[in-house]
Structure 1
Amino acid sequence: MSDHMSPAALPARVLNRADVRAALQCHDFGEVFKLARQWGGISFVKIADACGIKPERVGKLARGEGAVTSYEKITRIADALAVPGHLVGLAPRPWEQAQPVPESARQQERSPVAPEASSAVGVSRPSGAAGADQEGDDVQRRTFLAATGLTGVAGMLPEGSSGTRLGQREVDCLRARSSRLRRLDDVLGGVDTRHVYRAELDATVRLMRCGSYSETTGKQLLTVVAEQAQQAGWAAFDAGDQREASLLYRRAYGAARDAGNAALEGNALAFLAYQQVSSTGSGVATAVASCRAAGPDVPPTVRGLLYERRAWAHARAGEAVETERALAQAEAALGSNADTAGPEWASWVDARELQIMKGRCWAELRRPLRAVPELEAALADFDDAHARDKALYLSWLAHAYLDAGEVEQSAKAIGRAIGLSAGVGSVRPRQRVRTFLTRLHPHRHSEAVAEVLHRAV
């Protein structure tokens, strides 16, 4: 047998070693981490992501520095590495009590560290997250959320079943659950939610692989997959994993196209354009393609969403005329009297959302006299519970104030953004703050600016 084991086969080989079994009973996971990297080619970053601990902490444990004593972390590590409960002083893990399943499915479900086998809809496992979680409560919260997601739709089928007939009931259940989980994004960042959304997507893929269904039901299931892939992609983007986000958006586009859902097809491209603008350059061509793919017959909220994201792509490209045209098209769509009900995933698009986008676009185009009133009005009663989004919007307000020469107001706005972004599981507010502080630094002799710069250290 080759010394270089595939990651999917890793747990069985590791746990067959007497010395590793002894180490596990002492909660010395460092030896297992070392063997995972040596035999399975699994990076410490990937192990850290699956186990919910910092990459540097994994490295220290592998060097024999420290030990894991937290019950929550031991539970998370045991489930990630498929460690039987009795080896670490836990009750039998849920996967130990499952009925026998095919080997490919067993490898996929028992070890989140290992890459997923290829599936019919082409969804792969996420790579390591950029930016590790904080220790303590944040990790426990993420552990709880991940457990909630993993016990979801996978339970709709008996373990190991095949050929189970799926119909409208299962589709409705999947949609309702996805709708509930989507609301997590209102108050949590992608670092907290990406594992939940990805687990839900993977469970739906397994459901489709195991079951049978009519062509109509198949298209409905593909629509669910497209929605879930978009949500998982958004969470990956928010967590800073651009490669995973791009992959998921493209998978969502393929699923939506196969399902014949023009609205989701356009939205997948709009997501991709938004990511391109934020990370790789111009996303104008993709944003234009998103509006073309959706066509004129999609619901008003969808048209509004696509055109406002197109406006953002134009603004980032410095195209003021095209920006204003796209914003007008978004406003016309949202103000239309069309009685077509929009999809739930676009229900958050409303007049205030458009007002915020207007302010962001004009701030990006260095038009503070147009940006400030829009952002101030939209943020006047914006709930702090939506900390990530409010921090981001305040950062654009800070830019606009500084362009207008209002240094103290600018410092005040970015100070509020710093306070709101503390502890938020998203890389984007912190990136925006860091970028803006370089602009604010020349004004450090101002008392208001000096205070903000001190807080940001």
Structure 2
Amino acid sequence: MGKIADGSLPRPPTVMGRGRGARVPGPQPHHRLPPALLASHEWQDACRSRDFARIFRLVKLKAGIYPSRIAALCGMTPSRVGEIMTGRRALAHIDVIERVADGLRIPGAMLGLAHRPWEIPSSDHVRERAPRREPEPAPTPAPSGPAPSDNLEDLLALADGRVTRSTLTALHSSVEDYWRRDDQHGGASLRPAIVGHLTYVIQMMRTAHDTLQRDLQSLAAELARLAGWAYFDARQYSTARIYFAQALGLSHEQNDRLFMANVLSCMSLQATYEGNAVDAIALACKAQDTARAAGDQPLVMSMLHMREAFAHATLGDSSSCHQAIDRSRDAYELARGREDEAPSWVRYFDETKLIVDTGIAYARLGEAPRAEPLITEALRRQAAGRQRGRALHAYWLATAQFQQGKLDAACLSATLALDLTAAIDSPRVAGHLQEFRRRLAPYARETPVIRFEQRMREALC
């Protein structure tokens, strides 16, 4: 069988103390630094330590940008650049460091800065059209009172209408159970119960004692994020955005920056699914800046860098995607042995998840030979109970195999994903499989495709 064919920079501030007649050049057209330089350990070490003498020397040696050009790009005088390169002068002021980052196009994260405005592409850079969206069903209305879900009636009887610590404990237990069931069986069928719990918690916030208000608000933020995620899994994207926005607002009121970053990461992933790669990058970058302001959380940063990688891959930006993957791996190495310090909501992002997400990013880029072994290894490691995750990963394995012309293997992997969907309620997974089915149309007479079509009719039709 044959193979399948398958910005302008801000004006630099006036520099004082240069002597009469000294003139700072204005902003000049910039050059992107070579990806190999940005990826090198020597460069990354120099950036981490803000050793601008080494940075400027590397720029000269590896990028061919000489001191006079560095000065023009960064709004400095050539003599100052020379003093920095010889170690006679250091850079300490944040505005000057930001000017260097902008002039040389050094990603902000490398220098411990917020993402620079030029790192987020404008909408005219999108090269692919957004996928066709299917009509979105009407959202499930929120019940006027508590949702009839596990243990809620016992909870109400126990609390006797009052908010107590035991009430909060029981509700937190319900949230944990929802996440477990979402992971095993998908989130679509959980929406009414989650929204009911959210409505109930918001009602309790109006009458609860002041000492419990903050805990209730945190719980409401988590339930709103969970509701947004459930609607996202159901492919009801506009409703998902409403709940994500509610979660973001609730966590913002508490100044809970890490949880805000968590919500933004969910919104970034949804934007990636909708084909809005530019929005997805902006949301991922904002999530990273928000988490960075909250302190040292390498596991959170590892997950957020991977969200950014997905978005760059969707945009087709191979260099930026690879750099984001490298940052994710570096942050994960820093997190080893410190998992207990991370928020509970990010501990799912373990080594297996890092491996499979790296493979998916490569598959999104079309780098199938690199993607296939990573996704295969992650599926081998993954716990059997995580049905939805395994189904998604089997789909991406099929995609990577299909990109390489391995039709038999791709159909077998897609069939595994189909078999796993029998125990889950996730329109997101079903949508992936329908998409894969459409890709097979030119090969409809091939035996493995015929078998897959028959199995799909049995499973989904």
Q: Describe the shift of the 1:211–1:150 C-alpha distance in structure 2 as closer, same or farther (beyond 3 A).
A: same
**Deviation readout 1:277-311 (Å, 9 max, x if unpaired):** 11252211111111111116253322222221121
**Deviation readout 1:315-360 (Å, 9 max, x if unpaired):** 1111212212222222222221574611221121101001111111
Question: Aligned runs of 1:19-98 on 2, under 5 Å?
Answer: none
Counterparts of 2:450 and 2:169, CA distance in 1: 54
> 1:180 — aligned with what?
177
Q: What is the CA-CA distance between 1:446 and the residue it aligns to?
A: 2.2
> 2:199 — aligned with what?
202
Is 1:408 aligned to residue 444 of structure 2? no
What is the one-letter code of the residue matched to 1:321? S
Q: Describe the shift of the 1:46–1:447 C-alpha distance in structure 2 as closer, same or farther (beyond 3 A).
A: closer
Conserved 8 A contact 1:154-1:207: no
Q: Describe the shift of the 1:239–1:399 C-alpha distance in structure 2 as closer, same or farther (beyond 3 A).
A: same
> 2:49 — aligned with what?
none
Give 2:153's match in structure 1, choosing from 151, 156, 167. 151
Conserved 8 A contact 1:234-1:245: yes
Conserved 8 A contact 1:362-1:368: yes
Q: TM-score, normalised by structure 1?
A: 0.64
> 2:390 — aligned with what?
390
Conserved 8 A contact 1:411-1:452: yes
Counterparts of 1:152 and 1:358, CA distance in 2: 44
Counterparts of 1:218 and 1:371, CA distance in 2: 47
What is the one-letter code of the residue matched to 1:373? P
> 1:362 — aligned with what?
362
What is the one-letter code of the residue matched to 2:153? T
Conserved 8 A contact 2:155-2:167: no
Give 1:211's match in structure 2, choosing from 208, 212, 232. 208
Counterparts of 2:150 and 2:138, CA distance in 1: 21
Is 1:419 aligned to residue 419 of structure 2? yes
Q: What is the CA-CA distance between 1:186 and the residue it aligns to?
A: 2.0
Is 1:109 aligned to residue 136 of structure 2? no
Of 293-302 and 385-394, deviating more is 293-302
Name the Cα RMSD after superposition: 2.6
Give 1:263's match in structure 2, choosing from 217, 240, 258. 258
Give 1:222's match in structure 2, choosing from 214, 217, 221. 217
Q: Describe the shift of the 1:152–1:210 C-alpha distance in structure 2 as closer, same or farther (beyond 3 A).
A: farther
Question: Aligned runs of 1:372-383 on 2, under 5 Å?
Answer: 372-383=372-383
Q: Describe the shift of the 1:308–1:204 C-alpha distance in structure 2 as closer, same or farther (beyond 3 A).
A: same
Counterparts of 2:445 and 2:138, CA distance in 1: 44
Is 1:443 aligned to residue 438 of structure 2? no
- Secondary structure at 2:185's aligned position in 1? coil
Structure 1: segments with no counterpart, 5+ residues: 1-44, 52-79, 81-107, 113-145
Q: What is the CA-CA distance between 1:200 and the residue it aligns to?
A: 2.1
> 2:316 — aligned with what?
318
Q: What is the CA-CA distance between 1:150 and the residue it aligns to?
A: 4.5
Structure 2: segments with no counterpart, 5+ residues: 1-136
**Deviation readout 1:229-251 (Å, 9 max, x if unpaired):** 11111111112221221011111
Q: Describe the shift of the 1:248–1:374 C-alpha distance in structure 2 as closer, same or farther (beyond 3 A).
A: same
Q: What is the CA-CA distance between 1:424 and the residue it aligns to?
A: 2.1
Conserved 8 A contact 1:270-1:306: yes
> 1:302 — aligned with what?
300
Counterparts of 1:359 and 1:394, CA distance in 2: 12
Give 1:290's match in structure 2, choosing from 287, 291, 295. 287
**Deviation readout 1:142-168 (Å, 9 max, x if unpaired):** xxxx53264375556434x6xx6x6x6
Q: What is the CA-CA distance between 1:418 and the residue it aligns to?
A: 1.5
What is the one-letter code of the residue matched to 2:223? Q
What is the one-letter code of the residue matched to 1:147? S
Conserved 8 A contact 2:234-2:427: yes
**Deviation readout 1:178-221 (Å, 9 max, x if unpaired):** 2233222221212222222222222211221121214xx43333
> 1:83 — aligned with what?
none
Is 1:274 aligned to residue 274 of structure 2? no
Counterparts of 2:296 and 2:249, CA distance in 1: 18
Conserved 8 A contact 2:184-2:424: no
Counterparts of 1:446 and 1:170, CA distance in 2: 58
- Secondary structure at 2:390's aligned position in 1? helix
Q: Which has the larger radius of gyration?
A: 2
**Equivalences, count:** 316
What is the one-letter code of the residue matched to 1:213? D
Give 1:233's match in structure 2, choosing from 206, 228, 243. 228
Of 169-178 and 241-250, deviating more is 169-178
Q: What is the CA-CA distance between 1:404 and the residue it aligns to?
A: 1.0
Q: Describe the shift of the 1:295–1:152 C-alpha distance in structure 2 as closer, same or farther (beyond 3 A).
A: farther
Counterparts of 2:176 and 2:382, CA distance in 1: 23
Q: Percent identity over the alignment?
A: 23
Counterparts of 1:424 and 1:180, CA distance in 2: 16
Q: What is the CA-CA distance between 1:384 and the residue it aligns to?
A: 4.1
Conserved 8 A contact 1:408-1:448: yes
Q: TM-score, normalised by structure 2?
A: 0.63
Counterparts of 2:151 and 2:171, CA distance in 1: 12
Bigger RCO of structures 1 and 2 (CA < 8 A, at least 6 apart): 2
Counterparts of 2:399 and 2:384, CA distance in 1: 20
> 2:331 — aligned with what?
333
> 1:88 — aligned with what?
none
Q: What is the CA-CA distance between 1:441 and the residue it aligns to?
A: 2.0
Q: What is the CA-CA distance between 1:362 and the residue it aligns to?
A: 0.5
Q: Describe the shift of the 1:313–1:153 C-alpha distance in structure 2 as closer, same or farther (beyond 3 A).
A: farther
Q: What is the CA-CA distance between 1:385 and the residue it aligns to?
A: 3.1
Counterparts of 2:217 and 2:323, CA distance in 1: 34
Counterparts of 1:380 and 1:429, CA distance in 2: 20
